[in-house]
Amino acid sequence: MEMETRCDKVGVVETTKPDSATCQSLVTRLAFTCAKRLTGVDLESSGLVNWTEAEPSSVGPFLIGVAGGSASGKTTVCNKIMQGLGDRRCVMIALDWFYKGLEDEEDASSYNFDHPDSLDFELLLLCLEKLIRGQSTEVPCYDFSTHKRLPVKRLITPGEVVIIEGILTFYPLDIRNMLHMKIFVDEDPDTCLCRRIRRDVSSRGRTIESVLSQYEKFVKPSYEEFIAPTKRYADIIVPRGAENLVAIDLVIKHIALKLSQPDLRRLYPNLVIMGDNPQIQGLHSVFRDREASREDFIFHADRLIRLIAEEGLSLLPFQQSSVYTPTGDVYHGFKYSAELASVSIMRGGDAMEAGLRAVCKNICIGKMLIAKDPLDPSSDRKVIYCKLPSELSQKHVFLLDPILGTGKTAVKAVEELLRRGCIESHIIILSLVASSEGVRSCFEHFPQLKLVTSAIDHLHVSGRVTPGLGEFADRYFGT
Amino acid sequence: MIPGKSVHVHPPTSQLKALMTIIRDKDTNSSDFVFYADRIIRLVIEFALNFLPVQQKIVTTPTNAQYEGVEFHTKILGVSIVRAGEAMESALRAVCRNVRIGKILIQRDEHSIKPCLYYSKLPVDTSERHVLLMDPMLGTGGTAIMALQLLLQAGVKEERIILVNILSSRDGIIQVHKEFPRITIITGEIDEHLNDSGFIVPGCGDFGDRYFGTL
């Protein structure tokens, strides 16, 4: 009986993995807090291990977009989120600051402030890019009574969380794609109008008549045309606005969880990094060593590959299954509910096959060779050879690539798999070491795919992964 | 709750649970039982090795960069409790080449139902080593306690012993821990009960018989 390749799609209950319950963190450093989480024991106080402090993360801020109709309570929701996050460095940016404003001869009553053209999204994009790089940025100040930008600018310093709040936050594609979390505040239109009248009359020096005429002429039509359609991009829709304490609490908990993850997993939920225990560190310390003999290299790489394959298997869908044990009692467990195939990217991926076969008997393994055209070295990489198992669209696919460097090869391979009918969310890349750049590249191209790795390294300007482990296939195959 | 802080259950992934489901199923045939039991054993052994001491080690990679890692620097010894424990030896060998393996044979006396030591063979330098005591099932804990007494008599330090099970009963863990509070216990899953004949419930039957095909 072959478990891994059995297809059983009746009554599939997708059970998500309980996040390994272990939590994980950057492998490049030993953080004793991680081991404590993993093991439940305070190894440090037991005197067994000398741990060093974890390095601060360099993954950039967590970007949250908050959109919704005018006066729907966006700002209040944002404030509550910021309060809930306590001492975290939180930066809030209002889309209102980026109004282009009126020319001298223009009449405010005939200007549509709810139209995307009224906002300077290009400037917003520049500001956000700076904040993502960890730099301070200047934002414009806008005067709502004169409808003009003030000559002064405000300095915004980078934070761990950046919240962008405004009616049209999800409207421009490039900004929408930058957001790690999108919240749409949904409030009853009557309530919104009441609030808007109160606010504009009391704090922005307007008359009720002008607010109402603007509402009928611009606010409502623009909401329907530009704002409401962006609701579908939201990750979370919060009804009843700021009164919805449960929703706000959930959002705060999620952000706090993300902030507790010091690495790329904060940005990419489909990334699994499994290397934060001494065991995996120990394996890395052997085969990364340039002095390691070939025998040692293969032995330790194989051990790690086997662990990675087991981790990959745990990302597959399971369904509930109850069995009788020999004592006659019932055990409530799981069984695999997906058909699995594997594709190795030559040559490194071939080296991972033995480890995979050790845990999946009879798995179908396809091959792909991706390289630059030898006659034209300046060309892009392309698929030179490709032999894949049949019916890929029905299967979950492990894509084997031991070292994820720039990610270009993996992206090419995934493109090819998709072209052959694979489903993006069914592709799981298994790698030993991935560069953060490669990880970013993969997820930016294919946010749905999953990636398992045992360590995150960096990409050197030369295109090599550092500290890395050299040319994997050469060391494994002895060439 | 299990007393003490040195009991560690393998993270309960769906993956592990699916493997457990197979070996617990009474209808699983012998070859599947061995294949999937071996996979669980391998996972649990790799997990157990995390609890050995490590020291920091910096290596130079072929790119000439420094990698800050760790190395295991202690001498270890695997001790299997015959017969079921022997099923765990190949997994230990697969991850620790040339590991020394001692054996302890403990059987229940048919009249008194008390465990009785029949045979043991340990290397001469046992007392200097960290010991992985291997027994797939921890039922009443009687056998494990006897084996642990033997290891202590051989001079092993209590805190250097890691008892590795793939399935433990809550009672067994409590009993063992009462006697030896300083050892570390690693297990794949914990079952709540023991039945009247001392089997773990729901358990997976007699592990040794199923693994070695002597049903």
* Token digits of residue A39: 């093991």
Contact B18 A279 (CB under 8 A): no
The pLDDT tens digits for B158-172 are 999 999 999 999 999
Interface test mutation site (partner A, options B28, B29, B41, B59, max chain A beta carbons within 10 A): B59
pLDDT at B5: 60
- The average confidence (pLDDT) of chain A is 81
Q: What is the mean pLDDT of residues A44-68?
A: 56
Collect all residues of chain A within an 8 Å Cβ-Cβ radius of residue B35.
361
**pLDDT level of residue A60 (50, 70, 90 thresholds):** confident
pLDDT digits (tens, 9 = 90+) for B86-140: 899 989 998 888 888 998 988 877 676 678 888 888 988 899 999 999 999 998 8
Domains A32-57+264-477 and A62-260 equal at CATH topology level: yes
Report the SS3 class of residue A459. Answer: strand
- Helices B30-49 and A294-313, axial angle in degrees (round to 10): 110
Q: What percent of chain B has pLDDT over 90?
A: 46
Domains annotated for chain B, with CATH where assigned, are 7-212 (3.40.50.2020)
pLDDT of residue B189: 93
User: What does R_g of chain A's alpha carbons equal in angstroms?
Assistant: 27
In this model, does residue A42 exceed pLDDT 50? no
Rounded mean pLDDT, A244-251: 91
pLDDT given at position A49: 31
pLDDT, position A30: 33
Q: Any idea which of A47-61, A175-189, A398-412 has the lowest mean pLDDT?
A: A47-61
**DSSP string of A334-358, one letter each residue:** EEE-S-EEEEEEETGGGGGHHHHHH
For residue A295, the chain B residues in CB contact (below 8 A) are none
For β-strands B66-72 and B54-60, DSSP reports them as: antiparallel
Q: What is the dihedral of CA A190, A191, A195, A201, to 10 degrees?
A: 20
Instruction: Tell whether the model's pLDDT for residue B28 goes beyond 60.
Output: yes
Q: What average pLDDT does range A179-187 have in this prediction?
A: 92
What is the dotted CATH code of the domain comprising A32-57+264-477?
A: 3.40.50.2020
Residue A440 forms contact with B (CB below 8 Å)? no
pLDDT of residue A277: 81
Torsion angle defined by CA atoms of residues B194, B197, B201 and B202, in that order, rounded to the nearest 10 degrees? 180
- Would you say A274 and A24 are in contact if contact means Cβ atoms under 8 Å apart? yes
pLDDT in tens, A291-338: 888 888 888 888 889 989 988 988 888 888 888 888 888 888 888 888
Q: Do B11 and A318 touch (CB under 8 A)?
A: no
Average pLDDT over residues A35-46: 38
Q: Are strands A396-400 and A427-430 parallel, antiparallel or unpaired?
A: parallel
Sign of the alpha-carbon torsion through B85, B91, B92, B94 = positive
The shortest C-alpha distance from B122 to chain A (Å) reads 25
Q: List all residues of chain A from 271 to 330 with a beta carbon under 8 Å from chain B.
A: 277-279, 281-282, 284-286, 288-291, 299, 303, 306-307, 310-311, 313-314, 318, 321, 323-327, 329-330
Q: Give the pLDDT score at A295.
A: 83
The domain ranges of chain A are 32-57+264-477, 62-260
Q: Where are the alpha helices (DSSP H) in A24-102?
A: 32-39, 74-84
Counting Cβ atoms within 10 Å, is residue A13 exposed (0-12), middle (13-18) or buried (19+)?
A: exposed
- For B12, residues 6+ apart whose C-beta sits below 8 A from its C-beta are A18, A21, B189
**What amino acid occupies position A267?**
L
Sign of torsion over alpha carbons A315, A319, A320, A324? negative
In which band, very low, low, confident or very high, does the pLDDT at A468 lie, cut at 50, 70 and 90? confident
Query: Using the beta-carbon criterion (under 8 Å), do A288 and B72 form an inter-chain contact?
Result: no
> Which residues in chain A (4-63) have CB-CB distances under 8 A to chain B?
15-18, 20-22, 28-30, 35, 38-42, 48-50, 52
Which class is A62-260 in CATH? alpha beta
**A467 and B63 in contact by Cβ < 8 A?**
yes
Interface test with A, best of B36, B52, B61 (most A CBs within 10 A): B61
By C-alpha distance, which of B87, B46, B211 is closest to A309?
Answer: B46
Over 90: is that where the pLDDT of A463 sits? no
DSSP H/E element including A424? none
Residue A110 in 3-state DSSP? helix
Over 80: is that where the pLDDT of B13 sits? yes
State mean pLDDT over A260-281: 81
Say if residue B16's pLDDT is above 80. yes
For range B58-72, the mean pLDDT: 85
Percent residues over pLDDT 70 in chain A: 87
Is the pLDDT at A375 greater than 80? The verdict is no
Most confident of A33-37, A121-125, A319-323, A348-352: A121-125
**What's the one-letter identity of residue B2?**
I
Q: Mapped to the 3 state alphabet, what secondary structure does chain B carry?
A: CCCCCCEEECCCCHHHHHHHHHHHCCCCCHHHHHHHHHHHHHHHHHHHHCCCCEEEEEEECCCCCEEEEEEECCCEEEEEEECHHHHHHHHHHHHCCCCEEEEEEEEECCCCCCEEEEEEECCCCHHHCEEEEECCEECCCHHHHHHHHHHHHCCCCHHHEEEECCEEEHHHHHHHHHHCCCCEEEECEEECEECCCCCEECCCCCHHHHHHCCC
Q: Is the pLDDT of residue A174 over 50?
A: yes
As given in the structure block, the two tokens for residue B138 are 């921890």
Contacts of A336 by beta carbon, 8 Å cutoff, 6+ apart: A3, A4, A6, A8, A313, A316, A317, A318, B18
Q: Interface pTM (ipTM) of the complex? A: 0.74
Closest CA to A161 of A63, A81, A262: A63
Q: What share of chain A is helix, strand, coil (3-state, %, to 5)?
A: 40, 25, 40
Confidence bin at A50 (pLDDT 50/70/90):
very low
| pLDDT on residue A182 | 94
How far apart CA B107 and CA B17 sit, in angstroms, is 30
- Rounded Cα distance between A389 and A381, Å, is 22
What does the pLDDT read at residue B129? Answer: 92
Nearest to A357 by CA among A344, A371, A369: A344
Nearest in space to A327 (alpha carbons), one of B137, B13, B109, B147: B137
End-to-end alpha-carbon separation of chain A, Å?
A: 38
Q: Can you tell me the distance from the alpha carbon of B24 to that of B132, in angstroms, rounded to the nearest whole number? A: 24
